[in-house]
Amino acid sequence: MSLANFSLTAFAGLMLLTAQPSFACTLFGAAGEGVVEGGGTILAKTRDEHPGRQFFDIVRPSDGYAYMGLFTGRKGHFNMGVNEKGLVVARSASGGIPKEKRLTYACFEKEGLRAPEWIARHYATVDEVLAHPEIFKEPVNYILADKTKVVVVEVMPGGKTTVRVTEKGTAAHTNHFIEPQSKALNEKVGQSSRIRLERICSLLSEKEKPFTTDTFIAMTRDRNAGPVNSIWRTGTKPEGFQTLAAMVVKTPRAGPLEVYFTWRTRAMDPDSLQTVRRTVTLADFRKTTADFFGRKVIRRS
């Protein structure tokens, strides 16, 4: 793959500076022999937001696992990605609760890390994450995967959770509560969230199996329902909600990861997408971001 004109850092654009930003996204995954090519899992996320700063990076902490993925906002918070153990992490907003109410709940933060980054740095498997329920604090939806399973966790107000484990089959979520024990908490269900959920569930049901990375990439690009309600949302206003990035990570039972990231490198330019797709080994997590791409990295703010 050519990495000509590669840019790792997005230009600063419109940014949401609230303590708890929105994550109006589509999450989906698959697991198991006959469902995923070669077994293992595939996890995907499309990131929908107002245009703003985002960049790809590799973090190599001295006190935990290395991880790579997309970082967003003024402070560069970890948004989605995978760690050296093959644990994949992503999340979306619980939009069934009005934003003004969601902002009243305290967020998980420990040693300066928010929940997604804490998970990526400190846990090797989905089961390890689930053994630490204190992580699930503010109302958001998580999708997690390792080489054996995909898990969707809905975090309800007060930190109660629903947990759906998929070891052979598919899973999907958008931005409203969908489990029997959580549905009643929806104060509203956004049209886009409902339509995107129906569409991704339909695609997961109809597409030929076993799923490949290519299949999941194609699903992240689906524009079946127009500019506002599609999985890949182009939006109706330059500064409005739209899809800014997507991730697909295939974690096999054995062997290297397959990773795909595409993200907008200039906040207000929908045509500035940079795409990276490659196999990733443990040695890649030991590299600097510049070495990973084999070129000098210039950061801009």
- Our measurement of the distance from residue 131's CA atom to the centroid of its chain's CA atoms, rounded to an integer in Å, reads 21
What is the three-class DSSP state of 247? strand
- Residues of the chain with pLDDT > 70, as a percent, come to 90
Note whether 211 and 42 are within 8 A (CB).
Answer: yes
| Length of the chain, in residues | 301
In the prediction, which pLDDT does 294 show? 83
What secondary structure letter does DSSP report for 116? Answer: H
Question: Tell me: the pLDDT tens digits for 9-42?
Answer: 333 333 333 334 456 899 999 999 999 999 999 9
Q: How far is 93 from 99, CA to CA, in rounded Å?
A: 9
Mean pLDDT value across residues 181-208? 97
Report the distance separating Cα 55 and Cα 7, nearest Å: 8
Tokens of 255: 């062997």
| CA distances to 137, 157, 207, 217, 253 from 170, in Å | 25, 26, 11, 15, 17
- pLDDT bucket at 297, cuts 50 / 70 / 90: low
Task: Round the average pLDDT of the chain to a whole number and report it.
Answer: 91
- Mean pLDDT to the nearest integer, 200-220: 98
> What does the pLDDT read at residue 254?
93
Asked if 35 contacts 148 with a C-beta cutoff of 8 angstroms, the reply is no
Burial degree of 296 (CB within 10 A; 0-12, 13-18, 19+):
exposed
Strands in the chain per DSSP E: 26-31, 41-49, 54-59, 67-72, 77-83, 88-93, 109-110, 113-114, 140-145, 150-155, 161-166, 169-173, 242-251, 257-264, 273-280
Mean pLDDT within 195-203: 98
pLDDT digit string, tens, across residues 215-274? 999 999 999 999 999 999 999 999 999 999 999 999 999 999 999 999 999 999 999 999
**For 138-179, what is each residue's pLDDT tens digit?**
999 999 999 999 999 999 999 999 999 999 999 999 999 999
pLDDT at 296: 55
Lowest mean pLDDT among 9-18, 80-89, 184-193, 249-258: 9-18
Contacting residues for 73 by C-beta, under 8 A, at least 6 apart: 15, 16, 17, 21, 52, 53, 54
Question: Poorest-confidence range of 8-12, 39-43, 111-115, 202-206?
Answer: 8-12
- Contact between 42 and 216 (Cβ < 8 Å): yes
CA distance 117 to 135: 11
231 vs 245: CA distance, rounded Å? 11
Q: What is the DSSP letter of 133?
A: G
Q: How many CB atoms lie within 10 A of CB 241?
A: 18
Average pLDDT over residues 86-113: 95
